[in-house]
Amino acid sequence: MTDISAPARIRVEHAAQHAVVLLDNPPMNVVSLQLTRELYAALRRLERDDSVRAVVLTGAGERAFCAGSDIGELVDMRAPGAVLEHKLIFQNKVFELLRAFPKPTIAALNGYTFGGGLEIAACCDLIVAEDHVRLALPEIKLGVFPSSGGTFRVARKIGEARAKEMIFLGDPITADQALAWGLVNRVVARGQARAEAEAIAARIGQGPRLAMQKAKSIVNLAFDRPDAEAIAESLKASDQVFCSEEAREGVDAFLHKRSPAFP
């Protein structure tokens, strides 16, 4: 159970058509059990909120997006199965909820993005990083490895060899290196990640909701399913999209040379 006397570790702020989720566990916004539970609850609420078309995740303060797990919580989880029961099974469930979230998600990296922080970012559809940001999977230095998707999700973004380099050595890389490797989408000046991510979210909010959702779901199949299954799912989703009011509006706007106003 969450300690109701403890301050909230997740804050949600709403804009016109998107929401901003702030990881707020000072000083480094580490992944604690409480933060994970609150993140799950926040994502479930935003999933049901039809006014939210996209979600931005960022870190509170200026030092870190998220600097990894709360190591102090692991001390009492050394018995066989304990870390799975008390931390990793639920944490993986929450991170997978973020990866499969039906609306576009954007991570705005405003500081250190290590370990569990990078695992959270890797679940998002797009990543914007400030130019001073360092990213790492340093778990190997603790005698463990990234256990909430950092292995396979980072490998899907940057390839097997580079993912193994990050995991085996545990050394940080720069934002520019992450951009060159394809780990992040954009690099911006210090203090600008959230603004850039919100600008992207606002643009997404003007687009067709159903087509965005279906396109994301099909892209997410790219590394998970054989081509035949991906094609079948794509055709099913395409049929839904092409019959939608949004598609009707988009085609009509194109034919009449006007900007679409998606419902």
The radius of gyration computed from the CA coordinates of the chain, to the nearest angstrom, equals 19
Catalytic member of 38, 119, 196, 198: 119
| C-alpha torsion sign, points 81, 82, 83, 86 | positive
Pair 9, 32: CB distance under 8 Å: yes
Question: For residue 2, which phi and psi values (nearest 5 degrees)?
Answer: -75, 135
| Alpha-carbon distance values, 262 to 19, 197, 251 (Å) | 19, 21, 11
- Choice among 38, 130, 139, 198 that is catalytic: 139
CA-CA distance, 83 to 166, in Å (whole number)? 23
Q: Using alpha carbons, select from 244, 240, 262, 53 the residue that is nearest to residue 254.
A: 262
215 closest CA partner among 125, 90, 149, 89: 125
119 is catalytic: yes
* 13 part of the active site: no
Which residues form the catalytic set? 119, 139
